[in-house]
Amino acid sequence: MSTKKLSNDTEDAALIKKDAKSLNDVAKQLSPSLTDKEQYLVQLPKSVRRRLLALKKLQLEATHIEADFFMEIHKMECRYHQLYSKLYEKRQQIVNGTYEPTDDDCEFPEGKYKSSLALDEFGNDVLGQLLPESANKMDNDVKGIPNFWLTIFKNVALLNDMVQPHDEPILKHLQDIKVVFLESNPMGFILEFHFSPNEYFSNSVLTKRYEMKCAPSPEDPFSFEGPEIYTCKGCVINWYKGKNVTMKVIKKQQKHRSKGIVRTVMKTLQNHSFFNFFTPPKFSDDSDADIEAEFDEEIKNLLTTDFEIGHYIRERIVPHAVLYITGEAFEDEEEYEEVEESEDAVTTDSEEAAPGAITKIAKENYKFPNTNNPNTQNECTQQ
């Protein structure tokens, strides 16, 4: 290639670059408030923008197909839940002592799984080193698995933060947690907390209902990422007199300004308790816009946490309950703990990808709250 040819190519490239810069400058002058992406679109020829519009329509169609895909996953989940339910029922019987496992129930296929699955490998010598001297060993004739669900709640940080000391005697009566799937109209799920007869409330079952939607928003269809919890409803707890742990009574002394007479008044306040979970927060009806905005922002945060807890119980706790007793569930979650990555940190070796990661992403592909919706309904009362 001649020197003259190289020179001409260089000049042409410079002119093209200059023209592009000029177009960009014109776009900025015409619309100084536009973002870089918008400025890029403004300077595109009409024919190119038309093609992009066609691609966006294709993307919209793909989004609706994706919504159908998630609906089918939910229907499949509902069908398979029937199979799981038989196992959960047997688990409930073992936990509560109405069924005693046989040797076959406790025997794993030889050589197929790690020997660590066998809990009897922890002999008395090992237990003696692990447990404090003051620890009382359970009687071998103990019924079922005492405090099964309470132990799980105390082991899981997300739930342990909710459980107060005054909740623990009540949660010792928790016999089972069940999930009831709502297939459609609306899709969602109900958490059922089954209790044995107790001195605190007359309910045998406390429920928490979560409803989800699985359709792209007309206002922002491209933000669709899967089923989204958008509302929850609690239940009525029929507390026996003086046993409501969600409320506390405090004494306050008031002194009359002029007469100096002191009187004692009783004031009832909300108390921290796990059982507030059955009374989801509601958005404010305050006429003061500033107060309402501040209050509703707090409610959004509370509902976000509520939806996360409900989803976690349904997706993690109920299906894998025993693993939160024995510890394997925590090892699995630590393996997939989120970490911050620098922009240039790119994994290129496929062997570094965690096995089963795609499955985990698919199972966790539920968005939590649409707490921007002031019409979110939350119904529950404590009595």
Q: How many domains does the chain have?
A: 1
Tokens matching residue 338: 């989120």
The answer as to whether 38 is a domain residue is: no
pLDDT tens digit string along 251-264?
A: 777 776 777 777 77
Question: Given pLDDT bands bounded at 50, 70 and 90, which one contains residue 38?
Answer: confident
Residue 262's pLDDT is 72
Separation between Cα atoms, residue 20 and residue 22, nearest integer Å? 5
Average pLDDT over residues 288-295: 53
pLDDT tens digit string along 308-325?
A: 999 999 999 999 999 999
The answer as to whether 9 is a domain residue is: no
Angle subtended at Cα 232 by Cα 229 and Cα 233, rounded to the nearest 5 degrees? 165
Question: Given pLDDT bands bounded at 50, 70 and 90, which one contains residue 382?
Answer: low
The pairing of beta strand 174-182 with beta strand 205-213: unpaired
Distance of CA 310 to the CA centre of its chain: 6
Report percent pLDDT > 90 for the chain: 38
The answer as to whether 8 is a domain residue is: no
pLDDT tens digit string along 69-80?
A: 988 888 898 899
Question: Given pLDDT bands bounded at 50, 70 and 90, which one contains residue 293?
Answer: low
Residue span of the structural domain in which 281 resides:
44-130+144-333
The answer as to whether 262 is a domain residue is: yes
pLDDT tens digit string along 326-363?
A: 888 887 665 555 555 444 433 333 333 333 332 333 33
Question: Given pLDDT bands bounded at 50, 70 and 90, which one contains residue 21?
Answer: low
At 329, which CATH number? 3.30.1120.90
The answer as to whether 25 is a domain residue is: no
Separation between Cα atoms, residue 323 and residue 58, nearest integer Å? 44
Instruction: Give SS3 for 230.
Output: strand
The answer as to whether 218 is a domain residue is: yes
Tokens matching residue 247: 């409320």
The answer as to whether 39 is a domain residue is: no
The answer as to whether 382 is a domain residue is: no
pLDDT exceeds 60 at position 4: no
Average pLDDT over residues 218-231: 84
